[in-house]
Structure formats: C-alpha cells, structure tokens
Amino acid sequence: MKKITVIPARLDQATFMPLDQPVKRKVAGYARVSTDSDEQKTSYEAQVRYYTNYIKSRDDWEFVNVYTDEGISGTNTKHRSGFNRMIEDALAGEIDLIVTKSVSRFARNTVDSLITVRKLKEKGIEVYFEKENIYTLDSKGELLITIMSSLAQEESRSISENVTWGQRKRMAEGKVTIPYGRFLGYRKGADGLPEIIPEEAETVRLIYRSFMEGMTPGRIVKMLMQRGIPAPGGGDKWYTHTINSILTNEKYKGSAILQKKFTVDFLTKKQKVNEGEVPQYYVEESHPAIIEPEEFELVQAEVMRRKVLGKAYSSSNLFSAKLICGCCGGYFGSKVWHSTSKYRRMIWQCNHKFTNGEKCTTPHLYEDEIKRKFITVCGMVGEDKDDFLASCREITEALCDSTALDKHIENLLVRADELTAVMQGFIRENAEHEQDQDLYNQKYAEYEEQMNTVDAELQRMRQKKADQIARKELLEGMIREIEENDLTVTEFDEKLWRLMVESVEVDENGKLVFTLRNGMEIEV
C-alpha cells in the first residue's frame, strides 16, 4: 500500500512570504473625486482621512501613503498622476496591498481596470475594493472585477450620453456657451448670458481694423506685443493662430455655430471636427456683437481673397483679386514703375500678360484711374439711389428665405441615416453568415460611394447656406452705409469700395465693368 505524506506549503501564494513568519503588509489607500466642487472636496478630504485612520488601525498593516486624484475623471487612467504614481511605487516593491472604496473609484474603464489588476497580480500585489468586498488575489476576484468594471463602464457611458443629450438640447434651444477663460472680449453676465468686456472688445476691434487695413496676422501679433496688450487668458504672448481664430469666429458678430466638434469616444474623451456626423445649429443674434455683421463678412471675404492670392498677396493694396482680365480671366497684379526715381508709379496689369503663349491685350491701369472710375460709379448709383436700394432689399429678402436649402439639407441627412443603417446591417450580415467576399466588397464599395456622394452634397449645401447668410449681411451693411451717406463723393472711399464692389472686369480697350454686390453691372 502506497504511503503519501503531505508536505505543507511554506510560502504565501500571493505574497511569496513565509507562512510562519508574521510580516506586516505595506498598505496604501487610493481616493479620487471627479469634480472640483465644494461638496466633492469634502468627500475627497473625508476619504483621505478615513483611509489613513483605517490602515493605521490594523496591527498587521504598515501605512505607506494615501494616493489621491482630485477633479479627474475615472474613465481613463492616462492622466491620473496620483493613480499612476501609486502603481509605479507598488511595482517597485513599496506597496503590498492597495485599499480603495470601490471598482468605480479605481477605474470606470474595464480594460484599464483589468490590465492594472493583472499587472499588480503578477508581482503579488493585491487590491481590496471595500464596497464590493473583493480581494483581487482571491480565486473569484478577477471574475467579480470583470463584472463590476463592466457595470462601472456602462454607468460612465450612461452619464456621458445624458450629458451629451443635455448639451445638444441646449444647442437646439439656441443657448450659447463660451469658454470665457480663453475667449477675448466676453465674460459671463449676471443673467448667465455673454457680456462684453469693453477694454477687451477694443482689442478685438483693433485686430479686425488692422487686418482690413492690410496687415497680416503675423504683423498684428508683433503690433499687439509691442503695445503690451494682454493675450486671451491673460498671457503676454500672442500667436498667429490666435489672430486667425479671432478673425474667423462668428461669435464676434453676435451669432454662433454650435457643435463644431463632438466627442467620438466617451472613454478617451477624443473629439473630432463635426463634418456632418451630428447636427449643427446656427443661432443669429444670440448675444451682443463686438463686430458689426457686415464688417465681419467683409473680413471673411478678405480672408478668402488672401487665400486665393497666396504668396502673391500684397498687404499694401486692396485691389488684389478684384480686377479681372477680360482677355484670359486671370487677376490683375500690381507692378511698380520707376521705383527708384521721382516718377515712381503703381500700375496694375494682367498677371499672365507675358506668361501665356499669346500675351493678353488688356492695357495696364493706374491706381488713380481705378479710384477715379469708382467715384464715377458711386455718382451713377447715387442718381438712382432709391431704385438701387430697393433692388438690394429685394435680394436680401430672398436671401433670408432658406426654406428650400434647409429642406434639401434635411433630406440629405435622412438619406445619410438610411445609408448608415443599411451599411451597418450589411456588415452585421457578413459577420454572422458566410458570403462571397468579392461580392461583399463590391457591394460595400457601392454603398460607400453613395455615402461619399451624399456627404459631398451635404457639405456643398451647408457652404451654400453659409455663403447666403454672408452675402445677406454684406448687402445689409452696404444698404446701411448708402442710406446714411451721400454717394456724390469726390474722394475715393475705401469702405464703400469694399462694401460695394464684387469685381471689376477690364476689357482690351481699358473699359471697366463694375459688378456690384447686388449683381448690378455698371460700365465706365
């Protein structure tokens, strides 16, 4: 008969320490709250105090530290410095046991939670979740953690969806939110709505005025820093991208486009520029304007004009990208004649005059000549001022009606949703049932092409609507300017030029055809 002798274990499976040697476990606590509110701050301080006393009260535990994160979300461990420092210390052998309130306090992300627990488990380090009474080195610990972490992650998803729903409801109601701490010119008023800060508003107006006077964003940056004007947020350093943002942000004209970006993943908080995936809301006159709408639209037109010109842009002149060659359709550019003599003159001629196979036959123009002919145009408009303004008002009324465009955009969104549903069902069917992959790929490519066509049309319609709004506001600005001023001018008016002139075509005889903002053509 076999004789079997049991040799008892001498080491603890979890800690690898001798079982007969009473050793104090090095214990740390972990506390976290996800907001900086006063109520949560009280909870945070209570957690720290509780775990300090709790660990010190045990004779078999040696207190190490209470690691903390305050005002940080638990959905991702990447930016939780206290948590990450605790894990580093544990893996370095300074901690045997981590005590925390619950799985949701540790992490609301199943993947992060399990990866961290397994990493600690490999080194014999245990985590105790007090609320769920789970020890991770226990035989049933990992199963329970998986279940509890999944529930916590779903709770985070639910909270995220509720927050997103609330934000989108506010947007649909036209309620505007501004990041006041980093937004120049506005603060939160007593009624909760944006309120203008006079001194900062003057800086905004200076930026717009300087840009329209020909300065580049880079030159504006240098000017502001030389004058010691504070940047948004109170810093002393200005950047070109800050100027570009101020010049193109519609909130300065008292309107707002809401939901320019949206959160793609509630765990990573990653955001994406909204390219039609979720609705946007355009709210007119949502708050007090710092910049008049027509001036804002003039700036947008100038931004686009400079983009078209690229490196050819000259900050010293406002005729660039306005004069069009009647021979080849290209733009006129500026040239300096006799630059080093007293006969120095600025002339404008077709940029392609000597670059094409056949040179353009349009003549060059002197700046004084262009200005003189514009004064003549103003006089001609002034003679029939009432008729001119009436035609402008008719156009603005037509531009106010976006019913057809809105309906078309709505139909495109419905079509996009339908295609998305079909594609998702198609993908699911392929995953669940064996199919001919060549046919599947061919059909999927067809669906994708249809979706791309819908997206492209949606972008085109949205741009068309934005252009319609911009043209309406430019026309309204021109109407106000003409109503308030006598057009029988004797000197060139730069503001009138910018407001009134869409383009000027030059023919081979030097005749100029002015196309005004309302579509009217005047030949001089």
DSSP per residue, 356-425:
SSS---PPPEEHHHHHHHHHHHHHHHHHTHHHHHHHHHHHHHHHH--HHHHHHHHHHHHHHHHHHHHHHH
Correct CATH for 25-160 of 3.30.930.10, 3.40.50.800, 3.40.50.1390, 3.40.50.1450: 3.40.50.1390
Through-space distance between the first and last CA atoms of the chain, rounded to whole angstroms? 124
Residue 301: CB partners within 8 Å, gap ≥ 6? 470, 474
Contact 377, 523 (CB under 8 A): no
Tokens of 23: 């050793």
Correct CATH for 337-523 of 1.10.287, 1.10.10, 3.40.50, 2.60.40: 1.10.287
Neighbours of 237 (CB within 10 A): 10
Rounded Cα distance, 435 and 440, in Å: 7
| Beta strand ranges found along 226-325 (DSSP E) | 256-258, 261-265, 270-273, 281-283, 323-325
Long-range contacts of 40-46 (CB under 8 A, 24+ apart): 40/71, 41/70, 44/68, 44/70
Rounded Cα distance, 105 and 312, in Å: 58
Rounded Cα distance, 223 and 244, in Å: 15
- Write the burial class of residue 340 (CB in 10 Å: 0-12 exposed, 13-18 middle, 19+ buried): exposed
Rounded Cα distance, 197 and 181, in Å: 12
3-state class (DSSP) for residue 432 = helix
Give the angle 97-100-103 at the CA atoms, nearest 5°: 115
Alpha-helix residue ranges (DSSP H) falling in 401-489: 403-432, 437-484
Which among 209, 202, 512 has a CA at the least distance from the CA of 369?
Answer: 512
What is the structure's pLDDT at 86?
92
| Class of domain 180-310 as given by CATH | alpha beta
What residue spans define the domains of the chain?
25-160, 180-310, 337-523
Which among 424, 469, 463 has a CA at the least distance from the CA of 276?
Answer: 463
State how beta strands 256-258 and 281-283 pair. antiparallel
pLDDT, averaged per 10 consecutive residues of the chain (524 residues), comes to 70 56 82 59 76 89 89 54 90 92 71 77 88 78 65 60 55 63 85 86 90 82 91 86 89 73 52 58 75 82 73 63 87 78 80 74 90 91 86 83 85 86 82 80 88 87 80 80 80 84 90 89 89
- Write the burial class of residue 134 (CB in 10 Å: 0-12 exposed, 13-18 middle, 19+ buried): buried
Instruction: Give the helix/strand (H/E) hosting 493.
Output: none
Bridge partners (DSSP) listed for residue 333 = 349
What is the structure's pLDDT at 372?
92
Tokens of 395: 């156009």
What is the structure's pLDDT at 38?
46
Rounded Cα distance, 367 and 144, in Å: 81
Rounded Cα distance, 279 and 413, in Å: 9
DSSP string, 128-196: EETTTTEETTSTTHHHHHHHHHHHHHHHHHHHHHHHHHHHHHHHHTT-----GGG-TTEEE-TTSSEEE
Tokens of 321: 């990208």
- Angle (deg, nearest 10), helices 110-122 and 141-172: 150
What is the structure's pLDDT at 339?
64
Q: Which residue has the tokens 């939110």?
A: 177
Give the angle 295-297-300 at the CA atoms, nearest 5°: 115
Long-range contacts of 306-315 (CB under 8 A, 24+ apart): 312/351, 313/216, 315/214, 315/215, 315/216, 315/219
Residue 473: CB partners within 8 Å, gap ≥ 6? 253, 293, 294, 296, 297
